[in-house]
Structure 1
């Protein structure tokens, strides 16, 4: 199988490229810079130079592949609406390249904000008012006959070496303020998955074929936010204490949100079984705090 991967040098995408190549598949990866292109070439992937704003390129690359995994997303939190719009346009361009075929397209989305008071399931619908439009774009393509599914990722896709996710934001904030904080009693929960397990779910679905509109890459249904803060505090030698929401600034909604989610249906359907370290084990590794 020949798979076109956007975000091929990113956190999940790079792991997926390695897994695809190890499984004997051909990979073409999208690379924005010469350095990223070299990193992909060194792994054995083919290269397409460009970005997710190059819509003609995306359409052509999708049409030339047997399957597409869209893992790219510009995590510019200060301009999230712009990033979401960029993502939606890229998804529509990829779908245009696959029109009239049954080639699979996997689209990445988030698993936060889907349910209240219980773990979200694959059956829960994305909020139509959400700024991020990944799932809405996938649903539009499905209505046009594109063979598309969404893979939802939890708030933390963790692993030693992580630099751009939500946990690094918490580590940075703790260093800046001298306290590893949580809001209220800190019982709100974050679901989690190791990046290698997330990549393996993409691989599994690509190899099996799309059998459902939504998959959950969730290894842990919910880790109490207070325990995350305590784990960070231990490694930084800082107290873990409750603070008001404004301690987190723009990140307060995420820090205080309950983002528990289940992957029971995904596991039953695909046989996916996460084996990577859990979040708190990773947070005990000093490599998480390098730099």
Structure 2
């Protein structure tokens, strides 16, 4: 299988390239800068110079591929939808009918109130809207790819990704703890988050490509959820810092928009991925990984 990958120079991209190559696939990956091209090549994939703004490059690469995986993401860019929409259109137009296309989404598309109201994990049939998500462009991206005719589209809604010492949120918490000596959480910190090890997540992509079922939406999460208080305590143990509770008002002043994300309850039900794709998360859970795994 020839796989074209966006985001190959990033955190998840590294695990995907490794797993795709191990499965016997050939991988080409979009790389915007010389440094990104060097990372992609070092990982064993063929770098393709270009960016998500290069529609012609994307369409041609997809046309030559047996499958496309879109894993490029910048959750901090407010203009990401303007970049992603034409990029997705080009990729979908280039990929031949029936060939698999995997779109990387996030568990943050789910409305926060759903998880809190039922105090249970949230399934893929829960309605999602841009207005109720802190990552609205991912909701719109999901709608765009699922509406496309031709390719066999799978949407992966990933929980908090961890492992291999990565994850922007966790690395940010660790860096902040070492700088300030404290690890903040909001209120009692009892709100729960699902998580998924990056290597387990990469295995899910391989399973999705093999099945190539059109219109499939799956949650990617382990069966163990952690509270933000527990995550803060694990980061504190790792760094020698102190976990610190902030009021919502204090958190808003200290953390800005991140405060709203950290107070969400994001517990995902992975049953569909387990049942449909034969996948299950098997790596050490988040708290153990923080205290004694790759972050240590």
Distance in 2 separating the partners of 1:287 and 1:137: 32
Superposed displacement of residue 212, structure 1 = 4.7
Cα distance in structure 2, aligned partners of 1:200 and 1:124: 25
1:133 matched to which residue of 2?
Answer: 137
Please tell me whether residue 152 in structure 1 is matched to residue 157 in structure 2: yes
Question: Structure 1 residue aligned with 2:255, among 241, 248, 266?
Answer: 248
Change (3 A) 1:125 1:206: same
**What SS does structure 1 have at the residue aligned with 2:225?**
strand
> Secondary structure of the equivalent of 2:11?
coil
Q: Quote the offset at 1:287 in angstroms.
A: 5.1
Residue deviations 1:182-228 (CA, integer Å, cap 9, x gap): 11111101110111111110111101222552111111452111100
How do 1:1-291 and structure 2 match up within 5 A?
1-75=1-75, 77=76, 80-98=77-95, 101-114=97-110, 115-117=114-116, 118-129=120-131, 130=133, 131-146=135-150, 147-154=152-159, 156-162=160-166, 164-210=167-213, 212-245=215-248, 246=251, 247-285=254-292, 288=295
d(CA) in 2 for partners of 1:230, 1:46: 41
Q: What 5-or-longer segments of structure 2 have no aligned partner? A: none
Secondary structure of the equivalent of 1:74?
coil
Q: Quick one: distance in 2 between partners of 1:113 and 1:151? A: 11
1:157-206 deviation line (CA, Å, top 9, x unaligned) = 111331x5211222233334432221111110111011111111011110
Give the SS at the match of 1:226: helix
The 3-state SS of whatever aligns with 2:255 is helix
Using structure 1 for the length normalisation, give the TM-score.
0.89
1:236-288 deviation line (CA, Å, top 9, x unaligned): 22222311232432210111111111101111111102121211111113752
Closer, same or farther: CA 48–236 of 1 in aligned 2, 3 Å: same
Contact 1:91-1:138 at 8 Å conserved across structures: no
1:97-119 deviation digits (Å, cap 9, x = unpaired): 12x61111111111025133232
Q: Distance in 2 between matches of 1:44 and 1:170?
A: 31
Equivalent residues, number: 283
In the TM superposition, residue 138 of structure 1 has moved relative to its aligned partner by 3.6
Which secondary structure state, in structure 2, belongs to the residue aligned with residue 112 of structure 1? helix
Q: CA deviation at 1:120?
A: 1.6
Asked if the contact 1:153/1:216 (under 8 Å) is kept, the reply is yes
- Whether contact under 8 Å (2:52, 2:83) holds in the other structure is yes
CA–CA distance in structure 2, aligned partners of residues 53 and 252 of structure 1: 31
Distance 1:9 1:282 in 2: 23
Structure 1 residues 229 and 89 mapped into 2: Cα distance closer, same or farther (>3 Å)? same
Query: 2: CA distance between counterparts of 1:32 and 1:194?
Result: 26
CA distance in 2, matches of 1:170, 1:91: 32
**TM superposition score normalised by structure 2:** 0.88
